[in-house]
Amino acid sequence: MSRLMQRLDALMQDSDEPGQITRLYLSPAHAKAARRVQGWMREAGMTVRMDAVGTVIGRLACADADAKVLLLGSHIDTVRDAGRYDGNFGVAAAIEAVDRVRAAGVALPFHVDVLAFGDEEGVRFPVTLSGSRAAAGIFDPAALDSVDDNGVSLRAALQNFGGDPDAAGGARYERGRVLAYLELHIEQGPLLEVERLPVGVVTAINGATRLLVSVSGAAGHAGTVPMHLRRDALAAAVRQAGLSQAELVATVGRIVARPGAANVIPGEVEFTVDVRAPRDAMRQAALADIRRRMSAVAEAHHVTLTTGRSHEAAAVACAPWIQERFAAAITAEGFFARFLPSGAGHDGMAMAALCPIGMLFVRCRGGVSHNPAETIFEADAEIAVRVLQRVLTHFPAE
């Protein structure tokens, strides 16, 4: 087994829950994992530090101290009962690529920083992307007052971890000194597997809108109210649910009919609509279309429609020129360069406030993630590292 895969297996031990992988932001397991990652960084010839919000940063310094810096990274926190690759792979693969560049004796014309963020999943506190937000200079100090389920504030947890809450604002990289942020990540979707490709170039992190739709009609006896006199909320609601649009994804994940008895016409139906797309205009157009269709059905069925927005995130594009560099490296490795959007969120969403971003996806089995069954192939991991190594080696210093 390759060193990269061995390291990812070893990292499983750093868990807050025995028998599973659960590594929450600023927890004892996070501290252990941070030390382990620092060890890998040192082996790769990097100098190591931790920033004010707990991000582990290893630097392969350039001879020219005034050179700009290229950021690589991902996160080492996990969801509860996680798989071993989500986030962790990107950190370990970045260290592996840097080690190979150094071992090959290549003198890069820029510093390389590998960042191991600690709060991408946002599981412990009701905030997320704390590490990448701090690095990007968009950390909101109000987040320090948020508390976990045990009443521990982010501020207190940071102090206990050895961080410095009051210096969180100073953890930012200087804009204009950063060349780009590159991240390797498992796809968390099935596309590369279906198309039999080891890696893919990410075009954008999809924007997302989540709607909560309420449909109010009139409840009634399932047997005695004729169809033409019904104001049947469920009939109206569900006709909307299956819509599908090219290039975007729409999901009705939750639906409730009230009162919810087999022999009562539902008077009230509530369902969620989750819409994601790589471009904001595409998502907005789809939302407008969805609203138009829902209104038409509601009108036809004499029910009242209320739509609330519970979540909204703009799409974050990966820099086209970085996409091209990833694509060229993939082609050089002998594979077809597949471009695909990211349906899930990543640290790059925050880093895009600082610099151009680029992402490379690695095939994962069955598209399964956030699950102990998460699996990648050793051969794919190797291809991903080689692609990153190529991109790194030829990355422009300006």
- 191 counts as binding its own copies under rule CB under 8 A: yes
Which of 167, 116, 171, 79 minimizes the C-alpha distance to 371? 79
Q: Which is nearer to its own copies, 343 or 356 (CB)?
A: 343
- 344 counts as binding its own copies under rule CB under 8 A: yes
Minimum separation from the CB atom of position 251 to its own copies (A): 4
- 362 counts as binding its own copies under rule CB under 8 A: no
Task: Report whether 146 contacts 154 (CB < 8 A).
Answer: yes
Q: Alpha-carbon distance 20 to 393, whole Å?
A: 37
Q: Alpha-carbon distance 135 to 329, whole Å?
A: 27
- 314 counts as binding its own copies under rule CB under 8 A: no
Measured at the CA of 133, the angle between CA 132 and CA 135, to 5 degrees, comes to: 60
Q: Which is nearer to its own copies, 39 or 366 (CB)?
A: 366
Q: Alpha-carbon distance 136 to 356, whole Å?
A: 11
- 197 counts as binding its own copies under rule CB under 8 A: no
Which member of 51, 232, 347, 374 binds its own copies (CB under 8 A)?
232
Task: Mark 133-172 with x for binding to its own copies (rule: CB under 8 A) and - for no binding.
Answer: ----------------------------------------
Side chain identity at residue 372, one-letter code: P
Interface with its own copies by CB under 8 A: which range of 31-39, 140-148, 158-166, 237-245?
A: 237-245
- In the window 119-138, what residues touch its own copies (CB under 8 A)? none
Minimum separation from the CB atom of position 40 to its own copies (A): 28
6-13: long-range contacts (C-beta < 8 A, 24 or more apart)?
7/40, 7/92, 8/84, 8/85, 8/88, 8/89, 8/92, 9/84, 10/36, 11/36, 11/37, 11/76, 11/84, 11/88, 11/92, 12/84
What sign results for the dihedral spanned by CA atoms 383, 86, 276, 324? Answer: negative
Interface with its own copies by CB under 8 A: which range of 27-35, 175-183, 221-229, 389-397?
A: 221-229
- 189 counts as binding its own copies under rule CB under 8 A: yes
- In the window 7-66, what residues touch its own copies (CB under 8 A)? none
Q: Alpha-carbon distance 286 to 240, whole Å?
A: 13
Residue length, the chain? 398
- In the window 270-289, what residues touch its own copies (CB under 8 A)? 272, 274, 276
- 203 counts as binding its own copies under rule CB under 8 A: no
- 221 counts as binding its own copies under rule CB under 8 A: yes
**3-state DSSP helix/strand/coil % of the chain, to nearest 5:** 35, 25, 40
Which member of 32, 102, 338, 370 binds its own copies (CB under 8 A)?
370
In DSSP terms, 304 is beta-bridged to 216
Interface with its own copies by CB under 8 A: which range of 64-72, 139-147, 254-262, 316-324?
A: 254-262
Task: Report whether 77 contacts 123 (CB < 8 A).
Answer: yes
Which member of 222, 281, 296, 397 binds its own copies (CB under 8 A)?
222
Which member of 72, 213, 250, 351 binds its own copies (CB under 8 A)?
250
Q: Alpha-carbon distance 143 to 331, whole Å?
A: 43
Minimum separation from the CB atom of position 238 to its own copies (A): 3
- 372 counts as binding its own copies under rule CB under 8 A: no
- 239 counts as binding its own copies under rule CB under 8 A: yes
- Positions touching its own copies (CB under 8 A) are 187-191, 194, 206, 208, 210, 220-227, 229, 232, 234-239, 241-246, 248-257, 260-266, 272, 274, 276, 310, 342-345, 367, 369-370
